[in-house]
Amino acid sequence: MDKKLAVAAIIVIIIIIGGAIAWWYLTKPPAVQPIKIGFHAPLTGFAAADGLSALHGAQLAVQHINAKGGVLGRPLKLIYYDDACDPDEAIAIAHKLIEEDRVVAAISGSYSHPTLAASAIFNESGIPYISAYAVHPEITRDKPYVFRVGLTGVPEGKAMGYVAGLLNATRVAILYMDIPFGTTLAENAKAYIEDVLGGEVIYYEKYELGETDFSTWLTEIKALNPDAILAPAYYSEAAHIVSQAKELGITAPIIGCEGYDSPKFLELAGDAAEGTIIVTDLDRDSPRELVQTFLSDYKNMTGIEADMVGASAYDAVLVLAKAIEAAGSLDPDDIVNALKNLENVEMVTGTLYYFTEQGNACKPMVAQIVREGEFHHYADITDPDIITPPE
């Protein structure tokens, strides 16, 4: 009899435990699903340093936002792919993010050509898309679902001319990359120097992306003895330019652009980088807490110093999160409307005053100068005639 009672007791206990487990599963709150954000960048190939920086910046933004409770009570999840700086890859990734991953929105951490290619896909699909730093004007033009938090080529080119004015440079040489990034900056720098400063561009030549030997151009420039050299470039070409200029004994200051804004430029150029002035939107010397927290946390996460690319990708995630929160919705049109109405948003790369009708950020720029192997504040650039993107 005792044995039967024991068996019955065990059965009762099993039933009670099983019921409790079943009740827990039936009544527990459903798991919170993350908000999926797409991302693509060149993680391999010649632009990998910038692509990895952009990815790290975006990942850091997701970490910071999720640590504060996420967006609309849900965590963000970054789904990212390598576009190898290839427009065809970017198009394939755009389709995958939209059709398979079902992202709410997407961000480009890539250069102009892949971003331009992908922007058409996202716009046609009605999915919000933000370019972190690509400058090509057609990326956002007539695309209501596409925005850009980084600089555009027209204001940045003007800003390079503005810096020449700060140096009292009236006779200027311009050497630029023969790609949209380089030509847009060069054209607008030239126009600013001639039309606003009343200066003279005494040398205006182009070179191909990937060039490593600038001796012929720099020898010609040296013979003209300009007051300054404006040289739109990416960090690799920029390092060759400043290094070879130093070897040739050129003493004219070199003015660069956001393409120089990378630890790789400082590493490759070494001492030759000293005194180089660049136009960018990341002020390492800013006292703002957001900037210093980003710089510190980025360094702790990656082991290297942050750059403009990483900061811009961070800002793209930040701005998107603020728009979703403001919209109170994951509906694409609600997010787009919220983006259009954002004003005075504090970002790492300065205050986003507003987005223009064409989706471009209006925000200040800074000039940074290389001193003792580091970028430091040189000048603020806030003139509305310079910083306002054209429509």
In the chain, the domains with their CATH numbers are 35-151+287-359 (3.40.50.2300), 154-280+369-387 (3.40.50.2300)
DSSP 140-168: TTT-TTEEE-S--HHHHHHHHHHHHHHTT
Strand ranges in 221-329 using DSSP code E only, listed in sequence order: 228-230, 254-256, 277-280
DSSP 267-279: HHHGGGGTT-EEE
The pLDDT value recorded for residue 25 is 47
Q: Report helix, strand or coil for 42.
A: coil
8 A C-beta contact, residue 207 and residue 220: no
The residue type found at 128 is P
The pLDDT value recorded for residue 16 is 59
The pLDDT value recorded for residue 32 is 79
The pLDDT value recorded for residue 391 is 79
The pLDDT value recorded for residue 196 is 97
Q: Which residues, 6+ apart, have CB-to-CB distance to 286 below 8 Å?
A: 292, 377
The pLDDT value recorded for residue 231 is 98
8 A C-beta contact, residue 42 and residue 85: yes
- Rounded alpha-carbon distances, angstroms, from residue 300 to 233, 294, 376: 29, 10, 20
- Residues 127-139: pLDDT tens digits? 999 999 998 889 9
Nearest Cα residue to 358 out of 179, 131, 85, 124: 131
Q: In the chain, which stretches have pLDDT less than 50?
A: 1, 7, 12, 22, 24-29
Of all residues in the chain, what percent carry a pLDDT higher than 70?
92
First-to-last CA distance in the chain? 92
The pLDDT value recorded for residue 1 is 47
Q: Which residues pair with 44 in a beta bridge?
A: none
Residue with tokens 């990359």: 177
Provide the whole-model pTM: 0.88
Q: Which residues pair with 290 in a beta bridge?
A: none
* 29 secondary structure, DSSP code: P
